[in-house]
Amino acid sequence: MRNSIVINTGDQVEVLSNGRYKSAWHRVQAKPDGNRMSIASFYNPSMKATIAPAPQLVENGGVGVEAFGYPEFVFGDYMSVYAEQKFDPKEPRFQAVRAM
């Protein structure tokens, strides 16, 4: 995308937004006939932080697991699962961390 800025949100934003903002699979393919500038910036919470859907974004007042759609988890637990499954579909990661 010429003359553009692309921002990829991570899995934590997907969970916090209760699925409103999806994390995207992405891969950079540089073109041999042009220049490309990238600035990568990462932000992660404490490994002890609890990640869960924001109550304001949960339907039906948060009654039942279906209203949330995403599990509450400890960020460090998620990163342990992510390290093993980062190239696999993300939904099983959410389910794996739910079981922890």
Mean pLDDT of 44-51: 93
pTM over 0.85: no
Judge contact between 19 and 70, C-beta under 8 A: yes
Mean pLDDT of 9-21: 86
Alpha-carbon distance 22 to 89, whole Å?
Answer: 13
The confidence band for 99, taking pLDDT boundaries of 50, 70 and 90, is low
The confidence band for 31, taking pLDDT boundaries of 50, 70 and 90, is confident
Mean pLDDT of 4-30: 82
Q: What is the pLDDT of residue 86?
A: 77
